[in-house]
A and B are shown apart, each in its own frame.
Chain A
Amino acid sequence: MTDKVLRFSLEVYDGPLDLLLNLVRKNKIDIFDIPIAEITSQYLDELHRMEEADIEISSEFLVMASQLLLMKSRALLPSEEPTEDEMTPEQLAERLEEYRKIKEAAKMLDEIQFSSEALFFKKPEKLQKGPIENVNMEKDLLFEAFKSVLSRVEDRLPPKKENFQGIVGREKVSLPDKIRDVLKFVNTRKKTSFESIFESSKTKGEVVTVFLAVLHLIARGKIKMHERGGKITITKSGDKA
């Protein structure tokens, strides 16, 4: 129980290069003259220590470990032809030197990262857009609404037998009947959306007839049409929307 040693000073490395650079510094050796065998064993020792401390060792550390071991074995067997993607001691030195410079740069950036803290900037001005022009589009709106109703009817799946009636037969839809239906529909609800009038219509012929009925009733002043924010509502004549 008591032989468990707590280690508080374990370094956490930011990648294999960070670890290697630390070893280079600790050993006071020249980046361009690294004793590969010695550094490799120190590197592996450090990985073992990390493992013991339950620090997750990412794959990058292991890739570097295998590259170091390969380099070490190459030094022992110089006759072997190295493969193309193999790391040479020179390449390792270059990478370490580049990484060392970046660490130095990061330290400098750290020092100046709050340079503009005492400065205040104005938020960019939002470009004012002109007012929206109000154009009377009632007729077009009606047409568009009608088209959307039509397409909704067409979208109903699967296609029903009735859909072919225009081709293989003739459906019976009478305008006077629909006028009566629409008037009843509007009267019972007092206020209804344009689209809902078509809810019970199942074929194109029916939609067209209902639309005609609506036009008739408007022309005769039996129902009224109101538009607000692109939505059309239908009310009984005399009732306000």
Chain B
Amino acid sequence: MTEKLKNAAEAILFSCGEPVSTVEIAEALGVSNRLAVDIIEALQAEYDKERRGVKIIKLADSYQLCSREDYFEFIRNVTEPRRRQALTAPTLETLSIIAYNQPITRSRIEFIRGVDCTASIAKLSERGLIDEVGRMDTPGKPILYGTTDEFLRCFGLSDISELPELSEAPQQEDFLKNSEE
């Protein structure tokens, strides 16, 4: 791996700003996907080792450059305060149904929650956390929803597989344990 390729990858990530896929990086550098991943990871390690001002985060099959949390306080001195708006409990429920069951139709989401989910689905779409990812091949071709890169980024995940694991149904013994509490 040459220093030049690593620098080129750095330049690409800086220029694009948005997440750049492994395939795009590999094509731009003229190397295999595997090598592209090695290059990015080497760059990533370098940034981390030196606690540089920027770092590289992985989002599904893409990489993105962003500032390092260590320097948040400093950045805050030069930027406008952010509007921090938490998702409401019903919206979070809808989001977790989609995150754990994607791709999923609206009717299935509503079956699981037992209530109408039009508003929370609209809210999540508006905030870019979910998107239409296709249509189900059944009569009516219902829309299938899935989470976005923005969702991963927002929740600090590199991949959907990093979602916290859900505890299984409490078995008989678990139940006994629980009832003792």
> A134 on the interface (CB 8 Å rule)?
no
Alpha-carbon distance A182/B163, docked complex (angstroms)? 77
Mark interface residues in A163-197 (1 if CB within 8 Å of B CB, else 0): 00000000000000000000000000000000000
Of B84, B113, B163, B179, which is in contact with the most chain A CB atoms at under 10 Å from its CB?
B113
- With A102-B97, A103-B93, A113-B154: A120-B114 Cβ-Cβ less than 8 Å: no
* Structural contact, B64 and A95, CB atoms closer than 8 A: no
Q: Which of B72, B95, B156, B169 contacts A32 (CB 8 A)?
A: B169
* Structural contact, A14 and B115, CB atoms closer than 8 A: yes
> A58 on the interface (CB 8 Å rule)?
yes
Q: Which of B16, B93, B166, B170 contacts A124 (CB 8 A)?
A: B16
Alpha-carbon distance A105/B168, docked complex (angstroms)? 12
* Structural contact, A97 and B169, CB atoms closer than 8 A: yes
Total residues of chain B contacting the partner, CB 8 A: 47
Tell me the nearest residue of chain B to A64, going by C-beta: B114
* Structural contact, A109 and B112, CB atoms closer than 8 A: no
Q: Residues of B contacting A30 with CB < 8 Å? A: 170, 175
* Structural contact, B93 and A117, CB atoms closer than 8 A: no
- With A105-B96, A109-B92: A31-B169 Cβ-Cβ less than 8 Å: yes
Q: Residues of A contacting B115 with CB < 8 Å? A: 14-17, 58, 60
Q: Which of B64, B75, B113, B154 contacts A115 (CB 8 A)?
A: B154
* Structural contact, B96 and A109, CB atoms closer than 8 A: yes
> B153 on the interface (CB 8 Å rule)?
yes
Of B14, B15, B65, B156, which is in contact with the most chain A CB atoms at under 10 Å from its CB?
B156
- How many A-B residue contacts, CB cutoff 8 Å? 122
> B164 on the interface (CB 8 Å rule)?
yes
> A98 on the interface (CB 8 Å rule)?
yes
B108 nearest CB across to chain A (Å) = 11
Mark interface residues in B100-137 (1 if CB within 8 Å of A CB, else 0): 10000000000111111000000000000000000000
* Structural contact, A14 and B90, CB atoms closer than 8 A: yes
> A125 on the interface (CB 8 Å rule)?
yes
- Residues of A at under 8 Å CB distance from B? 14-18, 28, 30-32, 58, 60, 64, 95, 97-99, 101-110, 112-125
Interchain Cβ contacts under 8 Å between A and B, 27 examples: A14-B115, A17-B113, A28-B179, A30-B175, A31-B170, A64-B114, A101-B100, A102-B97, A102-B100, A106-B96, A107-B92, A110-B86, A110-B89, A113-B86, A115-B156, A115-B157, A116-B154, A116-B155, A119-B57, A119-B68, A119-B72, A120-B79, A121-B17, A121-B66, A123-B17, A124-B17, A125-B15
Which 4 residue pairs across A and B have the least CB separation, nearest first?
A115-B156, A15-B115, A105-B96, A118-B72
Known: A109-B155, A113-B87, A125-B16. 13 other contacts (CB 8 A): A30-B170, A60-B115, A101-B166, A108-B96, A109-B92, A109-B99, A110-B86, A113-B86, A113-B92, A113-B154, A116-B153, A119-B67, A120-B66
